Structure 1
Amino acid sequence: MSKQDGSNRLVSGPEVDDSTATILHVDLDAFFASASLLARPDLIGRPVVIGHDSSRSVVTAATYEARKYGVHSAMPMSRALRLCPNAVILEPDFSLYSRLSKQVMAILDDTSPEVERLGIDEAFVGIGGLRRLSGGANRIGAELRARIRRETGLVASVGAASTKYVAKLASSRAKPDGLLVVPADAVIDFLHPQPVSALWGVGPKQQERLARYGLHTIADVAHTSQERLSAWFGEATGRHLAALAWGRDPRTVEEREHEKSFGHSHTFSRDITDRSEQEGELLRLATGVGRRLRDAGVQARTVTLTVRFHDFRTITRSRTLPEATDVTRVIVEAAWSMLEQLGEMPPVRLLGVRASAVQDASDHGLLWDDTETWGSAERAMDAVHDRFGAATVVPASMLRRERKRDDTGPSGGD
């Protein structure tokens, strides 16, 4: 999620020329917050923060009403509440976010065969071959936004242009709840007044470096020679900055069938040393990871354990499995084994479990004798959770701890 609050919103009308806008960037507005509000319509219009009510928690997402106070994702919850004392805090529900994301992506797949997923809440959609049958970006973008709202209750902003970079930037300017089409002959006028932070890949540190050379807007970068940019920032970065500053981006929409990795982490409200408590938390985190793998129809070959200590020192350990899996039992046993190998440890502040090296679930057979049985049981639990809620059926060891949690799930929520 970005720090946008909608104050610089820019949208286009149906009369704008969309003949060169062959790429859409579809982005769900404040996704985590908006999804959470579907069950709490009484909070619509109020500043809502998604996260945990703990001084050690961080903001997962925030509504636009909260953003106007300066609240944004990854901000310490304590600071968010100082900026916006009247904020309402809602617990995140990552299983809900995953289900809604799948619905939205299915809508995009139904619209075009060219869909490139960027995350849980955004995707590029190629529409170059749809104009004769479905119309241009004005019509397709408007219909997509209407269908997403009608079928999911979520709001999407859409940017349209001839390149991925400009389309993505356009969707961010259209937020919230807008459509912005940028014709090819208007790209330079659209880009050059924008700050250098709008250049794809330029974060706060890079922005500071650019500012040291007097580069504050995209126009400043565009009117600096590529040779000088390369001398200051290196050959590859210099070429990258010069190309984007003039709206050049040769990349095409490439279908991505699934995320590259699936992970959850937890920051404890107090540092813990008890090994059984650490193992119990890994069980809970691995349960969430396994569920997301099964929901996506994929399996993972590598399990990674992250441990952050009280002094913020962080270590990771990874294990490659003999066979890809989506079974929680296999994932948690790998995590437990890596934790055990660490031996005695200082107090632990954070634990995380991530599954990577992802492939389609149909790509292989099974090596563990009892894995298929466990997988079937876990899919049955998934069905119960979908119908009656995530707390209906849980492993017994997860019932031992009743405390607030600070989870970090998949990124998203602009």
Structure 2
Amino acid sequence: MDEYKLHRHILCIDLKSFYASVECAERQLDPFKTPLVVADAGRGGGSIVLAVSPYLKSLGIPSRLRFYELPENIDMIVAKPRMSLYLEYSAKIIEVYLKFISEDDLYVYSVDEAFLDVTEYLSYYQMTDVELAKKILETIYNETKLFATVGIGPNMLISKLALDIESKKAPDFIARWTYEDIKKKLWPIEPLSEMWGIGYHMQKRLNRLGLVKIGDIANYSVLELKRQFGILGEELYYHTHGIDMSMIQHKHQVRSKSKSYGIGQTLFSDYYVPDVFQIIIEMVDDVSRRLRLSHKVAKTIHLGIAYSKEVGGGFSRQITLEQPTSSEKTIYETCLALFDKYYDKGTPIRRVHVSASNLQKAHVYQFSLFEDPERLLKEHNLFQTVDEMKFKYGRNAINRASTELETSTAKARNKMIGGHHA
């Protein structure tokens, strides 16, 4: 297994209680001493709490709950979400990273988490990876007054495990793991869902095989795991041994390869079925519109789902259609088919990506025997009219009625601020 081991110096940096810490920084308050929650109280007791301060976490208050579930015996500051402000802070943090490394060695995982490959920079700065990590955390605090934690490892997976399992509890918020730490620090962990990449549904299936601790998976038959779970089972086996061949630099190469139309969004709270379908249909609307405006049709439809950071993992799958299309109905139904096949039921979702590739000129389209040409023509004419209205009066001039739902993000995304209030 040694031949699969990377020996890089990867930092996985997470901003502690990001939204709540930004609100504390704006008020010049210490997040470790301030009872603050980020929530829109105006939406009623059922509204989702987006974040709680580290102080409230220390009292045992979870970061994900409804507003009515907050304890009434604590006098809290309730901060209304300001997503444009959080994105500004996120951009400032990225600027800090780019003071130390090249963009090619940075992978932004979410609005508050990123991977940095500092391998080629240690000799330049004449620092160890721990020393450089401390310097970066100090710079983040000096420039934004935000606290960050960091996991350090020889690959992306181990740095993430070090972050999730150890660094957040470390006095200096730093944890460094090597391959030798996997057996003593990762293998004893239970329940299985404590490991990044294992959702609740998969945990139940693994438990039925008698696998209770991470070490049980590591010592199980890789062939049997592959038989039970497909390629995900094989990947899980190697992950329990700390093996991960992902390279930050490769992620940039994959992203820039082929021409496609796509849209992705990191959600500002966990989504579940059926609310996530609202996000998918809105993204399909956007992709389909871009296909029509460019007079293109697509033969390959891709859906990517990333689970909540606490769970990790997700899926990225695509289907190549018999005939190319720009139909919203066809693209949406294809995305739903992918979702139904690969989604780990009950797992919280934090990122959705929809794209269309394998593009062709629209005039080469041929109807299949199973399509209704008259319906497709009516749909095309309808959405062409919608496109013209959006072009003339703005992208929010006309939308689906469902964009009025609380779970919708279309209007906010159309205003380029990522949701909630500016």
Give 1:355 shift. 8.8
CA, structure 1 residues 178+331, in 2 after alignment: closer, same or farther (shift >3 Å)?
A: farther
Which stretch of the first structure deviates more once superposed, 329-338 or 119-128?
329-338
Whether the 8 Å contact between 1:262 and 1:355 is mirrored in structure 2 is: no
CA, structure 1 residues 215+64, in 2 after alignment: closer, same or farther (shift >3 Å)?
A: farther
Give 1:57 shift. 0.6
Whether the 8 Å contact between 2:25 and 2:144 is mirrored in structure 1 is: no
Does residue 1:96 correspond to 2:157, yes or no?
no
1:223 aligned partner:
219
Structure 1 residue runs without a partner (length 5+) = 1-18, 267-306, 324-328, 359-377, 383-406, 410-414
1:125 aligned partner:
116
2:334 aligned partner:
none
Whether the 8 Å contact between 1:160 and 1:182 is mirrored in structure 2 is: yes
Does residue 1:162 correspond to 2:154, yes or no?
yes
Distance 2:52 2:246 in 1: 32
CA, structure 1 residues 102+184, in 2 after alignment: closer, same or farther (shift >3 Å)?
A: same
Give 1:171 shift. 1.5
SS at match of 1:116: strand
Does residue 1:333 correspond to 2:390, yes or no?
no
2:12 aligned partner:
25
CA, structure 1 residues 79+130, in 2 after alignment: closer, same or farther (shift >3 Å)?
A: same
Give 1:194 shift. 2.2
Whether the 8 Å contact between 1:20 and 1:183 is mirrored in structure 2 is: no
In the TM superposition, 1:317-396 aligns within 5 A as 317=282, 318-319=285-286, 320-321=289-290, 322=293, 333-339=394-400, 348=405, 350-353=407-410
SS at match of 1:316: helix
CA, structure 1 residues 162+263, in 2 after alignment: closer, same or farther (shift >3 Å)?
A: closer
Give 1:235 shift. 1.9
Does residue 1:175 correspond to 2:137, yes or no?
no
CA, structure 1 residues 252+332, in 2 after alignment: closer, same or farther (shift >3 Å)?
A: farther
Q: What one-letter code is carried by the residue in structure 2 that aligns with 1:49?
A: V
In the TM superposition, 1:286-325 aligns within 5 A as 316-317=281-282, 318-319=285-286, 320-321=289-290, 322=293
CA, structure 1 residues 330+164, in 2 after alignment: closer, same or farther (shift >3 Å)?
A: farther
Whether the 8 Å contact between 1:49 and 1:87 is mirrored in structure 2 is: yes
- Aligned-CA RMSD value: 3.8
CA, structure 1 residues 214+88, in 2 after alignment: closer, same or farther (shift >3 Å)?
A: farther
2:94 aligned partner:
105
SS at match of 1:41: coil
Whether the 8 Å contact between 2:10 and 2:115 is mirrored in structure 1 is: yes
Give 1:42 shift. 4.3
The TM-score with structure 1 as length reference comes to 0.61
SS at match of 1:337: coil
Distance 1:186 1:265 in 2: 33
Q: What one-letter code is carried by the residue in structure 2 that aligns with 1:22?
A: H
Distance 2:113 2:142 in 1: 18
The TM-score with structure 2 as length reference comes to 0.60
Paired residues in the alignment total: 292
Distance 2:196 2:34 in 1: 31
Of structures 1 and 2, the one scoring higher in RCO (CA 8 A, sep 6+) is: 1
SS at match of 1:249: coil
Distance 2:279 2:111 in 1: 26
CA, structure 1 residues 213+165, in 2 after alignment: closer, same or farther (shift >3 Å)?
A: same
Distance 2:138 2:200 in 1: 35
Q: What one-letter code is carried by the residue in structure 1 that aligns with 2:109?
A: L
User: 134, 144, 169: which one pairs with 1:142?
Assistant: 134
Whether the 8 Å contact between 2:11 and 2:115 is mirrored in structure 1 is: yes
Distance 1:171 1:214 in 2: 28
Give 1:78 shift. 1.1
Does residue 1:213 correspond to 2:274, yes or no?
no
Distance 1:230 1:59 in 2: 39
Distance 1:408 1:203 in 2: 28
Distance 2:265 2:278 in 1: 23
Distance 1:120 1:241 in 2: 26
Q: What one-letter code is carried by the residue in structure 1 that aligns with 2:40?
A: H
Distance 2:149 2:200 in 1: 25
Whether the 8 Å contact between 2:155 and 2:246 is mirrored in structure 1 is: yes
SS at match of 2:88: helix
Give 1:65 shift. 2.4
Q: What one-letter code is carried by the residue in structure 1 that aligns with 2:93?
A: V
Distance 1:27 1:313 in 2: 29
Distance 1:70 1:207 in 2: 24
Structure 2 residue runs without a partner (length 5+) = 1-5, 257-261, 295-389
Among the aligned pairs, what percent are the same residue?
Answer: 21
SS at match of 2:399: helix
Give 1:264 shift. 7.6
Deviations 1:33-66 (A, max 9, x none): 1111012234641332111222121011112222
1:151 aligned partner:
143
Deviations 1:302-324 (A, max 9, x none): xxxxx97xxx999834142337x
SS at match of 1:168: helix
CA, structure 1 residues 36+355, in 2 after alignment: closer, same or farther (shift >3 Å)?
A: closer
CA, structure 1 residues 55+24, in 2 after alignment: closer, same or farther (shift >3 Å)?
A: same
